[in-house]
Amino acid sequence: MVPDFDLAVGRASLDICLIFAEHRTLTHGQTSLEALPVSLRGDLHMKRFTRPWGVAAALALAVPAILLGAPAAHADPVSQTSGFYVDPNSSPARWAAANPGDGRAAAIRTEIAQKPMARWFGNWSGDIGSAVGSYVGAADAVDKLPLLVAYNLPGRDACGGHSGGGAGSVAAYDSWIASFASAIGSRPAVVVLEPDSLGDFNCMSQAQINDRVGMLSRAVGQFRSRAANTWVYIDAGNPRWVDAQTMAQRLNMAGVRNARGFALNVSNYFTTGENTNYGNQVASALQRFGYSKPYVIDTSRNGNGSNGQWCNPGGRRIGTPSRMGGGGEMLLWLKTPGESDGNCGVGGGSSAGQFLPEVAYKMIYGY
Measured CA to CA, the distance from residue 78 to residue 50 in angstroms comes to 8
Measured CA to CA, the distance from residue 244 to residue 227 in angstroms comes to 29
Catalytic residue selected from 196, 200, 211, 298: 196
Q: Is 292 exposed, middle or buried (0-12, 13-18, 19+ CB in 10 A)?
A: middle
* Residue 158 to residues 192, 200, 241, 246, Cα–Cα distance (Å): 18, 6, 14, 18
The CB density around residue 33, as the number of other CB atoms within 10 Å, is 15
Catalytic residue selected from 76, 87, 157, 211: 157
Order of strands, sheet of 147-150, starting from the edge strand that comes earlier in the sequence: 119-121, 147-150, 189-193, 230-235, 261-264, 295-298, 330-332, 323-324
Q: Exposure pattern of 175-188 as b/e (b: 16+ CB <10 Å)?
A: ebbbbbbbbbbebb
Measured CA to CA, the distance from residue 332 to residue 191 in angstroms comes to 11
Specify whether 196 is catalytic: yes
The CB density around residue 52, as the number of other CB atoms within 10 Å, is 12
Specify whether 157 is catalytic: yes
Specify whether 341 is catalytic: yes
Catalytic residues: 157, 196, 341
